[in-house]
Amino acid sequence: MKRFSFLIISVFPFFLSAQVRSDSLRREVTIEKDFTPIVRDASKINTLPEVEAPTVTKQSIRYSDWTVPTPLEPCAVLLAPGGFGEKTEENQSRGYVDFGIGNYLNMVGNAGYRILQNDKDKLGVWLQHRSTCGTVDYNQSLTEDYPDSKKMHRLEERVVANYLHSFGKLDLGISGGYRYDSFNYYGLRYSGLTGISSPNQEINRFFLKSHIASTAGESDLLYKVSLAYYRYGYHRGYLQGEKGAAENLVNADFTLSAPIDRRSSISLDGSFDYVGYSRLQSAANYGMISLNPRYDWRNEHVAFAVGVKADVSFNNGTILRFSPDVRFDWTIVPDVQFYTAFTGGKKLNTWRSVSAYTLYFNPSTQVDNTYVPLDASLGIRINALPGFSVGLSGGYEICKKALFLLPEDLNGEFTGVSRFWGIDANALKAELDVSYRYGTKLEASAKVGYHRWKTADGGETISYNRPQWEGGVNIRYMPVRPFTLEAGYEFAAGREYSNLGKLSDIHLVHLKASYAFTSWFSLYGLTDNVLNRKYDILYGMPAQGINFMFGVDLKF
Higher pLDDT, 193 or 537: 537
Higher pLDDT, 15 or 537: 537
Q: For position 268, what pLDDT does the model report?
A: 97
Identify the CA nearest to 129 among candidates 100, 102, 149. Answer: 100
> What are the pLDDT digits (tens) for 209-254?
999 999 876 667 899 999 999 999 999 888 666 788 999 999 999 9
Task: Give the domains, in start order, of the chain with CATH numbers.
Answer: 2-555 (2.40.170.20)
Contact 511, 525 (CB under 8 A): no
- The pLDDT mean for the chain works out to 82
Identify the CA nearest to 445 among candidates 486, 412, 411, 409. Answer: 486
Task: Tell me how crowded residue 278 is: count the other CB atoms within 10 A of its CB.
Answer: 12
What's the residue count for the chain?
A: 556
> What are the pLDDT digits (tens) for 453-512?
999 988 899 999 999 999 999 999 999 888 999 999 999 999 999 888 899 999 999 999
Q: For position 159, what pLDDT does the model report?
A: 92
Mean pLDDT of 287-304: 96
Query: What are the phi and psi torsion angles at 19 (to 5°)?
Result: -80, 155
Alpha carbons 252 and 321: distance in angstroms, whole number: 20
Cα-Cα-Cα-Cα torsion 327, 332, 337, 340, nearest 10 degrees, comes to -30
pLDDT at residue 42 tops 60: no
List, in order, residues 6 or more apart from 148 with CB less than 8 Å away.
137, 138
Q: For position 415, what pLDDT does the model report?
A: 85
Alpha carbons 501 and 334: distance in angstroms, whole number: 49
pLDDT at residue 446 tops 50: yes
Q: For position 142, what pLDDT does the model report?
A: 78
Alpha carbons 89 and 78: distance in angstroms, whole number: 9
* pTM confidence score: 0.82
Identify the CA nearest to 554 among candidates 521, 515, 524, 519. Answer: 521
